[in-house]
Chain A
Amino acid sequence: MNDCVPDFEIQMEEEEENPIPVSKKASTQNDDIMELLWQNGQVVMQSQNQRPIRKPPREIRSSEPQNYANNQHLFMQEDEMASWLHYPIHQDPPPLDHHNFSADIFYPPPNAALQCSVRADHLRHPPPRPPIPPPSRMHNFVHFSKHANASLSSKVAAAQPTVVDSCDTPVATADRVETARASGGKPAAPGGGRETATCDMTVTSSPGGSSGSAEPDQREAAVDRKRKGREAEESEFQSEDVDFESPEAKKQVRGSTSTKRSRAAEVHNLSERRRRDRINEKMKALQELIPRCNKSDKASMLDEAIEYLKSLQLQVQMMSMGCGMVPMMFPGIQQYMPPMGMGIGMGMGMEMGMGMNRPVMTFPNMLASSTLPAATAAAHLGPRFPMPPFHMPHVAAPDSSRVQAANHSDNTMLNSHGTLDPDQSRIPNFTDPYHQYLQLMQAMNQPNVSKPSTSRGQENPEKHQSDET
Chain B
Amino acid sequence: MSSRRSRQHSGSTRISDDQIIELVSKLRQLVPEIRSRRSDKVSASKVLQETCNYIRSLHREVNDLSERLAQLLTTIDADSAEAGIIRSLLNQ
Give Cα distance in the complex from A298 to B85, angstroms. 37
Give Cα distance in the complex from A326 to B65, angstroms. 13
Contact A326 B75 (CB under 8 A): yes
Residues of A within 8 A of B51 (CB): 286, 305, 309
- Cβ of B78 within 8 Å of any chain A Cβ, yes or no, is no
Contact A322 B26 (CB under 8 A): no
Number of B interface residues at 8 Å Cβ cutoff, please give it.
43
Give Cα distance in the complex from A370 to B56, angstroms. 36
Give Cα distance in the complex from A319 to B62, angstroms. 7
Say which one of A10-18, A176-184, A244-252, A357-365 lies at the interface with B.
A357-365
Contact A282 B2 (CB under 8 A): no
How would residues 346 to 360 of chain A score, 1 for a CB under 8 Å from any chain B CB and 0 otherwise? 000100110110111
Contact A306 B30 (CB under 8 A): yes
Number of A interface residues at 8 Å Cβ cutoff, please give it.
45
Residues of A within 8 A of B31 (CB): 309
Contact A323 B84 (CB under 8 A): no
Contact B69 A297 (CB under 8 A): no
- Cβ of B55 within 8 Å of any chain A Cβ, yes or no, is yes
Residues of B within 8 A of A323 (CB): 65, 68-69, 72
Q: Which of A205-242 contact B (CB under 8 A)?
A: none
Q: Which of A273-332 contact B (CB under 8 A)?
A: 275, 278-280, 282-283, 285-286, 289-290, 296-300, 302-303, 305-310, 312-313, 315-316, 318-320, 322-323, 325-326, 329
Nearest-neighbor residue (CB-CB) of A297 within chain B? B12
For the residues of A in contact with B, the DSSP-based class is helix
Contact A326 B52 (CB under 8 A): no
Q: Which of B52-80 contact A (CB under 8 A)?
A: 52, 54-56, 58-59, 61-62, 65-66, 68-69, 72, 75-76
Known A298-B19, A315-B92; judge A303-B1 contact (CB<8 A): yes
B16 CB, nearest partner CB in chain A, Å? 8
Interface centre among B61, B66, B85 (most CB of A within 10 A): B85
- Cβ of B33 within 8 Å of any chain A Cβ, yes or no, is no
Contact B12 A359 (CB under 8 A): no
Give Cα distance in the complex from A60 to B23, angstroms. 56
Known A326-B82, A352-B89, A356-B84; judge A309-B45 contact (CB<8 A): no
Q: Which of B10-48 contact A (CB under 8 A)?
A: 12-13, 15, 19-20, 23, 26-27, 30-31, 44-45, 48
- Cβ of B4 within 8 Å of any chain A Cβ, yes or no, is yes
With beta carbons under 8 angstroms apart, the residue of B23, B48, B55 that contacts A312 is B55
Give Cα distance in the complex from A305 to B68, angstroms. 27
Known A325-B85, A349-B85, A358-B81; judge A308-B55 contact (CB<8 A): yes
The 5 A-B pairs of least Cβ separation, nearest first, read A359-B81, A282-B48, A319-B65, A302-B23, A298-B15
Q: A286-B48, A309-B51, A313-B30 are in contact. List 10 more A-B contacts (CB 8 A).
A: A283-B48, A299-B2, A306-B23, A306-B27, A310-B30, A318-B89, A319-B69, A320-B65, A322-B85, A323-B69
- Interchain Cβ contacts under 8 Å between A and B, 9 examples: A279-B48, A290-B55, A299-B5, A309-B27, A309-B58, A312-B55, A320-B61, A322-B69, A356-B85
